Structure 1
Amino acid sequence: GKVYSLKRHLDRLERSAAAISLPLPLERGELEQIILGTVRIGAATDCLIRVFVSRGPGGFTANPYECPAAQLYIVVAQFTATSEEKVQRGVTMITSRIPVKKAYFANIKSCNYLPNVLMKKEAEDAGVNYSLSIDEHGFVGECSTENIGIITNRNEFLVPSFNAVLRGTTVTRMMELAAPLVADGTLSRVAEAQITVQQAYEAAELMVFGTTFDVLPVVQYDGRTIGDGEPGPVYRRFLQLLRDDMRSCGEMLTTVTA
């Protein structure tokens, strides 16, 4: 089998660990081989890999120097695909009331998930699929563990600026795959931007991006219908591009040897 986007996830792991001065317990090559070996032993046809690095055992204070050595945990779990109903009919979203993470911490992929958990609870309690954060200036950010993007009525593909939003591996790959669509006229441009709630309401298409489902269309946001209330043509093109990339793009795939 093959693992999709492993190198990019490890790049982000290294950046995030460096940002909090957490030394990784293994060299990059050794870490990669252990991950692939764990996948091989698990022998699952479709699986999801979780890699955790902690400071390890230590004291009960906030002093990181009480922890003598970092520890590594790798979990390979059976993958459960997103329901076909969400893929074909779309999902719903509300504006979150949970304060956003400050830019420095938003760009670190860590287990500091309290705001994320509260956002997911907020969505579940409201009977919708996702809640979307808003910064102090009124610009949209991200969902609990997902990025978003819009297609404007001028056929622009815009994603919230990564200055204060986690640089998701799926949405950044989508931006790369979408670039050629400018040349064929499907899109007018692909860019990061400061996006207001009103712009999201008025978008021709609104989408969420994430590792476990690739891309999903948002058909209702804060009770307002997005576009015509159905998954749009750009979404369907994006979904096909990501699925093709996952199956056949050599640079994005790492082989699990027997």
Structure 2
Amino acid sequence: MSAMHNNRIVYLNGEYLPESEARISIFDRGFVFADAVYEVTSVIDGKLLDFDGHVARLERSLGELGIRKPLTREALLDIHRELVARNELTQGLLYLQVSRGNSGDRDFLFPAEDVAPTVVLFTQSVPNLVDAPKARTGIKVISVPDLRWGRRDIKTVQLLYPSMAKMMAKKAGADDSWFVQDGFVTEGTANNAYIVMGGRIITRALSNDILHGITRAALLGYAREAQIEVVEMNFTIEQAQRADEAFITGASTFVMPVVEIDGVKIGSGEPGRVAIRLRELYIHEARKAAI
């Protein structure tokens, strides 16, 4: 059983603290400029999924923004494991955020290089992460224009527009939104998007336009090993509506079937055979490789 929320232990700049005692400066650039990057790692059976992939992407994001790498892989692993243990987390998520740090006052210019990054980690208990009810029914999505900045490959905390898109979906009676740019689907609000046609998995190729999903990379590797054909190409909402199946992937969703897009049922309107198989495959393989 997870520790009670108000007793949760978090990590802040080298200290393990009750969440009620954690404090960050109002001048931290993550707060005033969204000058920060983050990662979310899934936890199953008290173990970390795809940890090395998340660390590699974190280091890439930091490098693209010129933020100093604050900790080694080994140190990050120790912190992740310590928080899992202290919070008795068996199933859920571990959030990691690194900002450029406290510049001493609000200034558009980056602070001096000797300013230490701010490092925050906390756990979130999700008891039904594996047995998610939505995985049995599938989710509904709507399409919205992709109005985000151009470097979506960097996992920044600039999540206002995705949050707005989530709220648009909720207002429309749906579960999530898919972004559309120049007529083609880019990705979901916090996930990568896929369709299935003729047994083939179709998903947008990696570029600056989408996040390089860690779950995406792992799943496509498992799919290819299972002799499922993967095609990386753009697709439209109309093509998705005519597809046999659709689904999303993400650290907090694994593989989640999509059964309706903009009010149009996909296939039978129920989770498809390929999506169900891929979810089972991912959870099985990720569990085996967890650390």
* TM-score, length-scaled by structure 2: 0.79
| Structure with more contact order per residue of length (Cα contacts < 8 Å, sep ≥ 6) | 1
5+ residue gaps, structure 2, are: 1-45
State the SS of the aligned residue for 2:154. Answer: coil
Cα separation, 1, equivalents of 2:144 and 2:274:
26
- Residue type of the partner of 2:180? I
Report the Cα offset of residue 142 of structure 1.
0.9
Report the Cα offset of residue 190 of structure 1.
0.6
Report the Cα offset of residue 14 of structure 1.
0.5
For 1:111-138, what per-residue CA distance to the aligned partner results, in whole angstroms no more than 9, with x for missing partners? 0112211111111111100110011x21
For 1:4-36, what per-residue CA distance to the aligned partner results, in whole angstroms no more than 9, with x for missing partners? 111111111100010000012222222222222
Report the Cα offset of residue 238 of structure 1.
0.4
> Which one is further off, 34-43 or 215-224?
34-43
- Residue type of the partner of 1:101? W
Query: Which of 167, 170, 174 is equivalent to 2:215?
Result: 170
Report the Cα offset of residue 81 of structure 1.
2.3
Taking the TM superposition and a 5 Å limit, the aligned residue runs for 1:2-151 are 2-58=47-103, 59-65=105-111, 68-81=115-128, 84-102=132-150, 105-135=151-181, 137-151=182-196
- Residue type of the partner of 2:272? G
- Residue type of the partner of 1:13? L
5+ residue gaps, structure 1, are: none
Cα separation, 2, equivalents of 1:151 and 1:191:
10
**Preserved CA contact (<8 Å) 1:130 1:144:** yes
State the SS of the aligned residue for 2:56. Answer: helix
Cα separation, 2, equivalents of 1:22 and 1:144:
25
Identical columns (%):
27
- Residue type of the partner of 1:237? R
Taking the TM superposition and a 5 Å limit, the aligned residue runs for 1:189-200 are 189-200=229-240
Report the Cα offset of residue 66 of structure 1.
5.4
Cα separation, 1, equivalents of 2:262 and 2:121:
38
1:237 paired residue number: 277
Query: Which of 217, 228, 247 is equivalent to 2:268?
Result: 228
| Closer, same or farther: CA 84–11 of 1 in aligned 2, 3 Å | closer
State the SS of the aligned residue for 2:111. Answer: helix
Report the Cα offset of residue 241 of structure 1.
0.2
The structure in which a higher percent of residues are strand is 2
Q: How many residues are paired up?
A: 242
**Preserved CA contact (<8 Å) 1:17 1:24:** yes
Cα separation, 2, equivalents of 1:218 and 1:140:
14
State the SS of the aligned residue for 2:89. Answer: coil
State the SS of the aligned residue for 2:235. Answer: coil
**Preserved CA contact (<8 Å) 1:101 1:115:** no
For 1:154-176, what per-residue CA distance to the aligned partner results, in whole angstroms no more than 9, with x for missing partners? 22111112211101111221111
- Residue type of the partner of 1:232? G
Cα separation, 2, equivalents of 1:95 and 1:139:
10
**Preserved CA contact (<8 Å) 2:47 2:90:** no
Report the Cα offset of residue 98 of structure 1.
4.6
> Which one is further off, 80-89 or 214-223?
80-89
Cα separation, 1, equivalents of 2:270 and 2:258:
9
Taking the TM superposition and a 5 Å limit, the aligned residue runs for 1:211-226 are 211-226=251-266
| Closer, same or farther: CA 149–53 of 1 in aligned 2, 3 Å | same
State the SS of the aligned residue for 1:134. Answer: strand
**Preserved CA contact (<8 Å) 1:119 1:143:** no
The structure in which a higher percent of residues are helix is 1
Cα separation, 2, equivalents of 1:84 and 1:72:
30
1:156 paired residue number: 200
Report the Cα offset of residue 85 of structure 1.
3.5
Cα separation, 2, equivalents of 1:238 and 1:208:
11
Cα separation, 1, equivalents of 2:137 and 2:220:
23
